[in-house]
Amino acid sequence: MVPHGADDTVVPAAQGEGLASALLAVGADVAFHRVPGADHLWIGASDADVEECFASSWRSPRGSRRRPRDDPGMNRPGPVLDKA
C-alpha cells in the first residue's frame, strides 16, 4: 500500500501515485490510498485514517514472501546519521 496525504504541501500526491504505478508495472501487489485532509506527516488526517494506513502496511499481501527473522538481511545496520 502506498498511502499519501491528499493535501500534502511538501510531496505532491502525484508522486505517490507514480510510485504505485511503477510498482504495479513490475508486478508488485500494491494499492495507492489518498488520505483525505492529510498534509505531510499526516497532519490533519483523522485518527481512523492514520490507524488504517499503518495497520494495512503491516498486513502481508497474498503471496508475498517475508524474510524469516534469522535472515542476516534483517539485522543489517541502517545508515549512520551525522548527529553533529
* Residue found under cell 504505478: 21
pLDDT in tens, 26-73: 999 888 989 999 999 889 999 998 888 878 776 655 544 444 445 454
**pLDDT value of residue 29:** 87
- Give which of 36, 27, 25, 26 is closest to 3, Cα–Cα: 36
- Rounded to whole angstroms, how far apart are CA atoms 9 and 28? 27
**How much is the pLDDT for 31?**
87
Specify the pLDDT at position 62.
Answer: 53
CA-to-CA separations, 41 to 8, 20, 66, 71, 79, in angstroms, rounded: 8, 19, 27, 31, 21
Q: pTM, whole model, 2 decimals?
A: 0.61
Tell me which DSSP letter residue 81 carries. Answer: P
